[in-house]
Amino acid sequence: MKPPILAISCLTLAWVSAFGQAADVPSFEVASVKPASPSARSITCSGGPGTTDPGTWNCSDVPLVFLITHAYGFQPPEFSLRDNCCQARFDVAAKVPAGTTREQFQRMQQNLLAERLGFTFHHEQKEMPLFELTMGERGSKLKESAPDAALAQEDPWAPPKYSIGKDGYPVFAAGHSGVGQGLDGRYRWTGFNLSMPELVKTLSYYLGRPVVDATGLKGKYDIDLTWAYDLALVMESAGLRDQIPEVPNNGTPGPTLVRAVQDQLGLKLNSKRGPGDIVVVDHVDKVPIEN
């Protein structure tokens, strides 16, 4: 069992509505949203800020759930990728204004969903398993980022590029970042200039539970974290404790992510239950408004 590809933050409906009504809300110069061909079978996206073609954005045969999670940054614990509301597939073509930032690009996508598909939602709170991230007993081992470090530009649509080392873990080229999967469930996360909200967002994605930051750390950090995929934890987080298969104990290829965070980052993930946000879709049209 492998985790889903899409990575995914919370924005309140009030925040979205405020921007949707503002006169200076960023928008695409030209945009087309059409139902995908029933015969299409290849999901692709390209272009936009951070790519070699920043002036255009094109997606083909993409599920609406993909467009929503990318536009709003929703996490798996709060918005299911299998939500029945949002499985229709679309083709999107848009012209992006020169100088658009990634943050503006994301708001353009949100505005497009609201205008063409009438997409609205709200948050509700639900009791669920989560992790509280705290300082470890011996303090943080996080490495503070150099303020003038030169980093490679990453294409947001392209999968991370890496090779597989002799130990079975992914190896990223100097200056490149991302999360990669190696042999037998071995993972490596190489990241630069990360804030704690960014760090807990990725941890939440791979743990399948919300992660609440209680470290008090405010800096920017570089990390190089390796761990082994923990099927039992993911199944338990999904409410499938009774369906966890019995696997022969032949030794794990590496530490679990919970253990790796403690040993390699000097932080501790404390399992508990508490209120977590879930996204409830209020409305979305099956057919987009004419372009």
Q: Count other C-beta atoms under 10 Å from residue 157's C-beta.
A: 16
Same domain, residue pair 206 and 90? no
Same domain, residue pair 179 and 267? yes
Same domain, residue pair 121 and 165? no
Question: Is 290 inside a domain boundary?
Answer: no
Same domain, residue pair 106 and 168? no
Question: Is 95 inside a domain boundary?
Answer: yes
Give residue-wise pLDDT tens across range 34-69: 999 888 888 999 999 989 999 999 999 999 999 999
Question: Containing domain of residue 113, as a range?
Answer: 13-126+278-283
User: How many domains does the chain contain in total?
Assistant: 2
Give residue-wise pLDDT tens across range 110-157: 999 999 999 999 999 999 999 999 999 999 999 999 987 767 778 888
Question: Is 2 inside a domain boundary?
Answer: no
- Mean pLDDT score of the chain: 84
Question: Which pTM value belongs to this model?
Answer: 0.77
